[in-house]
Structure 1
């Protein structure tokens, strides 16, 4: 089994980018390009509300931990979770002990999103990657997580199926391949390009019609 070293770890948040678009991921994580739009600003604002490690909610059955550090040597990822809920458990199976909170606890990752549930698995892969990190860190198995959507103000249960886990592994492998090769995938214009904050940097509509850069520059200055 491959295990990545510290210098080989990639940002966990990138798995959502590469699932949305390989070129977007490469622009952000290889070329260090970034641009804000209305969607990213709203998303950042929502995460600022939950990513405060000083905020911890607790009752007898659930402890809410915020901004938990995550790492997986097997996937080669590191990051910070929005929320990890510790739910009281009567069984030691797949439960952990926490130094601050007596008893046994099951871990459930919760990811916050600004919009509403999507038709694809972009959000699910990020949540599943967080769960895999927790599983590796604590030697447990996590069966489900939740996605909370700001637009609907509702949380959606996500079952961490074998198929979803396989998709996460495939996306992680692809991220490492692109990063090692320092490869920027070609532009392919699709409907979702309109919502991408890097649309003006990527220029997918122009480059899809005119993939040759020299031809594009010739047209631009004619």
Structure 2
């Protein structure tokens, strides 16, 4: 799924918990995000100023083996061709510390390019906190990064191995923090079990 790519680029362990363990938990951040997506989808398709907007559009790429939905795809007519521009809605603000949102958007572009036989130069990320769009150029580097994430997610799902927790600042806002336990390392868990056995021995 396209969402798995975003999850992996943000945190491989989060991706594994959601897409292998089927763990999901709502918090204020995920609820706000869900409502923002529902608002975007509810607007429906419309035509304005020579641009056609389509919401909740199903996407798929047989070549990459990915699928999902785009929040909004705007079609602008250039010559005799309608060129699509994917727009992904996010509840927060731009994240300079990771490229997860850009990877998800680029994957949407890969699907659109295959489905429609076009080449896309850019898309946009709309952030609810700033109420502004951020243009994302589909550079060769971003396309390579997206391809690498697709391969990494496929390998993760095939092995079924849950990556170890790596605590970082973003963990504080993650809805899966209580299930992931980022502050508990493998070493500390081993020490805890040993101490438990010693106490009972």
Q: TM-score, normalised by structure 2?
A: 0.92
SS of the counterpart of 2:63? coil
1:64 aligns with 2:40: no
Give the Cα–Cα distance (whole angstroms) in 1 for the partners of residues 146 and 133 of structure 2.
Answer: 21
Give the Cα–Cα distance (whole angstroms) in 1 for the partners of residues 62 and 161 of structure 2.
Answer: 23
8 Å contact kept, 2:125–2:135: yes
1:157 aligns with 2:135: yes
Find 2:84's aligned residue among 107, 113, 135: 107
Counterpart of 2:65?
Answer: 76
Q: Which contiguous aligned blocks of 4+ residues in structure 1 show a shift greater than 3 angstroms?
A: 215-222
1:142 aligns with 2:142: no
8 Å contact kept, 1:112–1:147: yes
Q: TM-score, normalised by structure 1?
A: 0.84
Task: Report how far residue 56 of structure 1 moved.
Answer: 1.4
Find 1:126's aligned residue among 104, 112, 117: 104
Give the Cα–Cα distance (whole angstroms) in 2 for the partners of residues 24 and 141 of structure 1.
Answer: 32
Q: Deviations over 1:163-199 (max 9, x none)?
A: 0000100001000101111111111212221111111
8 Å contact kept, 1:188–1:208: no
Residues paired across the two proteins, number: 197
8 Å contact kept, 1:65–1:85: yes
8 Å contact kept, 1:72–1:133: yes
RMSD: 1.7
Q: Deviations over 1:29-85 (max 9, x none)?
A: 001001111110100010010123x71121241000001100112222110100000
Task: Report how far residue 208 of structure 1 moved.
Answer: 5.3
Q: What are structure 2's unaligned runs of at least 5 residues?
A: none
Indicate the structure with greater helix content.
Answer: 2
8 Å contact kept, 2:10–2:99: no
8 Å contact kept, 1:87–1:106: yes
Counterpart of 1:40?
Answer: 30
Q: What are structure 1's unaligned runs of at least 5 residues?
A: 1-10, 92-103
Counterpart of 2:156?
Answer: 178
Give the Cα–Cα distance (whole angstroms) in 2 for the partners of residues 153 and 35 of structure 1.
Answer: 26
8 Å contact kept, 2:59–2:108: yes
Give the Cα–Cα distance (whole angstroms) in 2 for the partners of residues 220 and 191 of structure 1.
Answer: 30
